[in-house]
Amino acid sequence: MSKSNSGSKAQNAGGQSIGIPLASSLPERPAVHGSFKVQLQKEQLVFSSAHFITFAGDICECLHGHNYGLRAEVEGTLDENRYVIDFIAFRESLAELVKQLDHHMLIALHHPLILVDAQENEVTVRFREKRWVFPREDCMLLPITNTTAEEIAWWIATEVRKKLYPKIGDRLTAIEVGVDENNGQWGCCRLPWDPSVPTTLNP
């Protein structure tokens, strides 16, 4: 009696013989093409912070705060695990930044009319005739021009990219971050994943 090389035999629950195909007889995995992305928007990715912004030239808001929400996504090809990115690594990188922002006074360092004097124990901020003094440990000094949701999103995107690019490399193509400052009012920033591409803010 000749033996078949199409597979081995086993029995199902009814005692009938069934064929189990050998690995060599399985169809090849098809190539997967397309654009892939991973999005994160978690309840724990929120931060409560104070700030003020300027607008219309030299109008300055009163000091106030928001309960900010955060979402982020990256685009790219699939890795050997068929991931765009490891959800846990992505989430943890965002959570670290949220922790830095949470319960802090957000201060822009590059505004032409906002003067910031950061000392060891306190930070003095001046705008025209206004003057504020904050404990240094309560401040988050950001390399942006105005503490708008859009520029905060830019800072978060650049920091995530800085942290994860050395681990992931250039397999990803873009990162986008959205910051919600008032229940549906989002400021977003999309950047190329490659950190060699200039992404400085407009003056």
Question: Per-block average pLDDT, block size 10, for the chain (203 residues)?
Answer: 50 60 61 82 96 90 95 93 92 97 98 95 95 97 97 97 93 96 95 85 61
Tokens of 60: 């300055």
Nearest to 71 by CA among 163, 159, 186: 186
Q: Please give the pLDDT value at position 56.
A: 85
- Boundaries of every domain in the chain: 33-192
Q: What is the CATH number of domain 33-192?
A: 3.30.479.10
Place of tokens 């808001």: 61
Name the pTM for this structure: 0.82
Nearby residues of 94 by Cβ (< 8 Å), 6 or more positions away: 40, 45, 70, 72, 156, 160
Strands 139-142 and 105-108, bridge-based pairing? parallel
- Main-chain dihedrals φ then ψ at residue 61, nearest 5 degrees: -65, 160
Q: Please give the pLDDT value at position 35.
A: 80
Nearby residues of 85 by Cβ (< 8 Å), 6 or more positions away: 38, 74, 76, 164, 168, 172
